[in-house]
Amino acid sequence: MSQPMIRKILETRLSAIPGAPPIAWEGKAFATTQGLFWEVFLLPAAPDNPALDVDYRRERGVLQVTINAESGKGPKAAQDSAETIRAAFARGLDITDGPVRLIVERSPANAPAIIEDGRYRLPVSISYTADVFG
């Protein structure tokens, strides 16, 4: 049950960013737009079990947000959008929701942009740790 809670925490934070463009959520129908939009995937990693005698585990993973901008117009719109995401998920962000405490453990990182299907695609990776109790 922790993965849906982690997804909810991260997606709620992302969708609350002022001025966010349309968002293509993982596994949901989305009509591609001509302008800027974000594409989102949750990439969980293997959990840690730091304690044997309590019902506690540490989930890790990455929220991958790929900024999709029109190709041929330069990188500025995508880079500005990446900075907005990075600011919203700054290193040290700490959110607790019920039995889940989620922490952004590193500053979000941009990967190299890719030009694909007429789109300038700039990935932003947000690494998280989630302590799950119960």
Going by DSSP bridges, is the β-strand pair 100-104/119-133 parallel, antiparallel, or unpaired?
antiparallel
> Does residue 123 sit in helix, strand or coil?
strand
User: For 25-47, what is the HEC assignment?
Assistant: CCCCCCCCCCCCEEEEEEEECCC
Q: How many CA atoms lie within 13 A of 134 on its CB side?
A: 7
Residue-wise pLDDT tens digits, 48-63: 888 777 788 899 999 9
Triad 56, 13, 58: Cα angle to 5°: 15
pTM for this predicted structure:
0.92
pLDDT of residue 62: 98
- Compute CA distances 132 → 4, 13, 53, 64, whole Å: 12, 19, 14, 21
Q: Is the pLDDT of residue 32 over 80?
A: no
d(CA 60, CA 47): 6
Tokens found for residue 75: 């990188």
Whether the pLDDT of residue 1 is over 70: the answer is no
DSSP-H helix ranges across the chain: 2-15, 76-88
What does R_g of the chain's alpha carbons equal in angstroms? 16
The string of pLDDT tens digits covering residues 64-98 is 999 999 999 899 999 999 999 999 999 999 999 99
